[in-house]
């Protein structure tokens, strides 16, 4: 059975059919790449599933439960987490704080008003451990607003990862960094996701990365799913290659 299943999911912005009757399925344990040219509707689809946008029509099922009407908070509780295409961090907090906040929220401790945050040793240790996994040890005490772009992309993923999601959406985790930095970032993310058995959906433009790191690929075009299959199948699919030709590689 699918971990996530959308049925006829639709979101229009006026005349613009950003997401148009999409049936999208993600199986447990997969690393799935979501590809498509600019404006294909990839981010919009993730926005619908994560609750940032409300669907015009259609259903979203997660672990067999209809979450279409669920709040963002409810979806996070259910196990859906996401990172953002444009880095979205708490810039005036330290990197350690950024990750720790996810853990406080996950543990239901973020509402504690009358006890010092520093008392929760276990949470700080876990936050430090998460930073370590993402190779950000040295940045723990730096403000998130003051680290390099590549590190910010990783921290953005780390903040979502620290929620211990069952399904993790990563919206272009390597956009805005130099080509040289892309592979190391993907290596880090991929090894964490695979070693923890997290199901992940990665939106990516760089086809080398897509073919290298994913088990399955879904290609969107003008709000609909154009094709899906294994990397080999997608590589041979002519409609995919023609629609992606003429779009920038990254």
Partner 1 sequence: MTAAVLSGEGRSPVKVVASAAPVVVLLWVLPYVLAPYKTLLLTYGLVMAIAALGFNLLLGYTGLLSFGHSAFFGVGAYAVAFMVKYLDLTSMELFIVGATVASAFVTALFGLVCVRYTRIFFSILTLALSQVLWSLAFKFFWVTGGTDGLRVPTPRLLGRAVAASEDKTTFLVHAYYSYVLVVFLACVALMWVIVNSPFGKALQAIRDNETRAEFVGVQIWRYRWIAFMVSGVFTGLAGALWVPLNGLTTPDILYWPFSGEIVFMAVLGGFRTFSGPIVGAIVFNYLKTYAVGFTVYWQLLLGVILVTLVLALPTGITGTAGQLLARLRRAA
Ligand X SMILES: Nc1ncnc2c1ncn2[C@@H]1O[C@H](COP(=O)(O)OP(=O)(O)OP(=O)(O)O)[C@@H](O)[C@H]1O
Give me the residues that bind partner 1 (CB under 8 A), please. Answer: 50, 52, 72-73, 76-77, 81-82, 84, 88-94, 96-97, 100-102, 104-106, 109-118, 120, 124, 141, 143, 159-160, 163
With binding defined as CB under 6 A, does residue 10 bind ligand X?
A: no
Where along the sequence are the contacts to Mg ion (CB under 5 A)?
43, 85
Which partner, partner 1, ligand X, Mg ion, none, binds residue 82 by CB below 5 to 8 Å per kind?
partner 1
Which residue lies nearer to Mg ion by CB, 83 or 102?
83
Which residue lies nearer to ligand X by CB, 36 or 58?
36
| Pairwise CA distance, residues 73 & 76, whole Å | 5
Which residue lies nearer to ligand X by CB, 85 or 212?
85
Residue 38 C-beta: closest distance to ligand X, Å = 4
Which residue lies nearer to Mg ion by CB, 61 or 247?
247
| Pairwise CA distance, residues 168 & 81, whole Å | 5
Q: Which span sits near ligand X by CB under 6 A: 39-47, 57-65, 66-74, 97-105?
A: 39-47
With binding defined as CB under 6 A, does residue 36 bind ligand X?
A: yes
Tokens read off for 221: 């075009």
| Pairwise CA distance, residues 7 & 171, whole Å | 21
Residue 47 C-beta: closest distance to ligand X, Å = 7
Neighbours of 113 (CB within 10 A): 4
CB-CB contact of 99 with 162 (8 Å): yes
Residue 138 C-beta: closest distance to partner 1, Å = 15
Residue 183 C-beta: closest distance to partner 1, Å = 26
Query: Among 18, 99, 130, 218, which residue sits at the site for ligand X (rule: CB under 6 A)?
Result: 18
* Count of residues interacting with ligand X (CB under 6 A): 12
With binding defined as CB under 6 A, does residue 39 bind ligand X?
A: yes
Which partner, Mg ion, partner 1, ligand X, none, binds residue 40 by CB below 5 to 8 Å per kind?
ligand X
Binding residues (CB under 6 A) for ligand X: these are 13, 16, 18, 36, 38-44, 85
């Amino acid at each position: 059975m699918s971990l996530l299943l959308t049925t006829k999911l639709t979101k229009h912005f006026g005349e613009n059919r950003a997401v148009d009757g999409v049936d999208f399925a993600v199986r447990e344990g997969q690393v799935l790449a979501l590809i498509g040219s600019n404006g294909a509707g990839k981010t919009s689809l993730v926005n619908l599933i994560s609750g940032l946008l409300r669907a015009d029509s259609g259903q979203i099922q997660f672990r067999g439960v209809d979450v279409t009407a669920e709040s963002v908070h409810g979806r996070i509780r259910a196990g859906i987490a996401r990172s953002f295409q444009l880095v979205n961090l708490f810039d005036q907090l330290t990197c350690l704080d950024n990750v720790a906040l996810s853990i406080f929220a996950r543990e239901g401790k973020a509402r504690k008003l009358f006890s010092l945050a520093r008392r929760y040793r276990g949470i700080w240790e876990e936050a430090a451990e998460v930073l370590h996994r993402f190779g950000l040890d040295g940045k723990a005490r730096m403000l998130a607003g003051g680290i390099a772009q590549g590190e910010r992309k990783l921290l953005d993923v780390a903040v979502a990862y620290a929620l211990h999601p069952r399904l993790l959406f990563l919206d272009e985790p390597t956009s805005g960094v130099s080509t040289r930095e892309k592979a190391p970032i993907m290596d880090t993310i991929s090894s964490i996701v695979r070693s923890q058995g997290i199901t992940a959906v990665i939106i990516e433009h760089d086809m080398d990365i897509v073919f290298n790191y994913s088990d399955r690929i879904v290609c969107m075009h003008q709000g609909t799913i154009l094709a899906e299959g294994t990397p080999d199948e997608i590589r041979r699919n002519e409609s995919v290659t023609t629609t992606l030709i003429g779009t920038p590689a990254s």
